[in-house]
Amino acid sequence: MSAIHQFVPMLHRADAVGRHTLRLRDLLVARGIDSRIYVELVDPETEVETQRFVEYAQDAQKGDLLVYQYATASGIAPWLVQRRETLVVNSHNVTPPEFYAAWDNPLARHQLLAQIQLRELALRAALGLAASVFNDSELRKAGFVRTAVVPPAAMLPAGDATGLGVRDAGAVKDAAARWLMVGRMAPNKGIELALMALLVARAHHDPRATLEVVGRPVVWSYTKALRRYIDELGLRGAVTFRGAVSDAELIASMREADVLLVASQHEGFGVPVLEAMSVGLPVVANRAGALPEVIGEGGVLVDARDPYEVAGAIAQLCTDDARRAALLQAGVRQVAALNLDAAGDRAVELLTALRR
């Protein structure tokens, strides 16, 4: 019987692409379909879950379907272009090279190569799966003829927003507001925009407000510049970089925070937004990329380049009980509407329909 195998440059258990890949593998296997994960680079934490992509040539069977989980350039892409099996590209967003150019030229060139490889894959792919409408438009621009939008099956099982320990607005009024950012410490994430907004908030709304940033560093020069910027703004002691954390630690941070701030200037989906909504944490996010479609009515959209708008929006959420309560209820509805629990099944249905 033909199989459905996945290819990913490197399988990380704790990121959205990794969770999505593992979830699809498990769903396929549960349906009795042979499904393995092939990688270019091995992550020690997931080594037992993967094989080197070149080994697929020995495992190949007639009628196999190959799925490339695409988010960056790799040696897998040109190799897949040369294969004859039916190919599906599941796109999770490529950060444009211009966001990296000022910080890391080799990485910027790597992102440019990713854009080139996407266009090459479009010539071979039978289907392009996009995490969002925003990503779907990028697939179309790259030359994909047939596409479908399926959100990533990657949200942590954080529970629901009922009766959790997140502080209400009344409690926040008399305490320092705790801002949280979640995601890779990459230049497109707009962490410097959040720092400026925090400075404004401490000057005009809440002199004890703090910011916690959860996520692994990506570009050393950018991380170093952020730390220098914090000192220049006089925010040392008000900002904490946690780095990468476990799933349990991430959910704990969300439960302890008062607002999730997403200042990304280019975002293909934004799973932390829905994870925050699921635990009753209000969201303030930049009006860019896929964030408006993911947030819907469940969060506050701002121009993250305007620190006064960001600080004002957060201050309102931390002092207006009615506004906060309404937003939390809207967030619950948005999480239910996107239904990430069923996203994996939707992807599997599309994949199985393509098998020869």
Structure confidence by residue, pLDDT tens digits, 296-348: 999 999 999 999 999 999 999 999 999 999 999 999 999 999 888 889 999 99
Q: Give the range of the structural domain holding residue 239, as residue numbers without chain letter.
A: 169-338
203 plus 135 within the same structural domain: no
Q: Is 308 helix (H, G, I), strand (E, B) or coil?
A: helix
Q: For residues 182 and 324, state if they share a domain.
A: yes
* Exposure string over 276-309, b if 16+ CB within 10 A, otherwise e: bbbbbbbbbbbebbbbbebbbebbbbbebbebeb
Evaluate whether residue 353 is within a structural domain: no
Dihedral sign (CA 93, 277, 28, 25)? positive
Detail the DSSP E strand segments found in the chain: 4-10, 37-41, 50-52, 65-70, 86-91, 127-130, 147-149, 178-182, 210-214, 239-243, 259-262, 283-286, 300-302
What pLDDT shows up at residue 123?
96
What proportions of the chain, in percent to the nearest 5, are helix, strand and coil? 50, 15, 35
pLDDT at 162: 42
Q: For the segment 223-257, what is each residue's pLDDT rounded down to a tens digit?
A: 999 999 999 999 999 999 999 898 889 999 999 99
Residue 352 placed within a domain: no
Mean pLDDT of the chain: 92
SS3 142: helix
Report yes or no on 160 lying in a domain. Answer: no
122 and 222 together in one domain:
no
Residues 83 and 107 in one domain: yes
Angle at 261 between CA 260 and CA 263, to 5 degrees: 150
Residue 124 shares a structural domain with residue 182: no
Specify whether 140 is located in the same domain as 177. no
| Residue type at position 27 | L
278 with 145, same domain? no
Position 229 in a domain: yes
* CATH number for the domain that contains residue 112: 3.40.50.2000
Statement to judge: residues 203 and 99 lie in one domain: no
Domain count for the chain, please give it: 2
- Assess if residue 126 is contained within a domain: yes
Report if residue 134 sits inside a domain. yes
Residue 15 binned pLDDT confidence (cut-offs 50, 70, 90): confident
**2: pLDDT confidence band, cut at 50, 70 and 90?**
confident
In this structure, the answer to whether residues 312 and 226 fall within a common structural domain is: yes
Same-domain status, 42 and 147: yes
CB 246 within 8 A of CB 217: no
Say if residue 34 is in the same domain as residue 174: no
Tell me: do 186 and 276 sit in the same domain.
yes
What is the per-residue pLDDT across 208-217, written as a single tens digit (0 to 9) for each? Answer: 999 999 999 9
Contacts for 126 with CB less than 8 Å, ≥ 6 apart:
86, 87, 88, 146, 354
Chain center to CA of 280: 19
**pTM as predicted:** 0.89
Is residue 84 in some structural domain?
yes
Closest CA to 136 of 123, 124, 122: 122
Q: Is residue 199 part of a domain?
A: yes
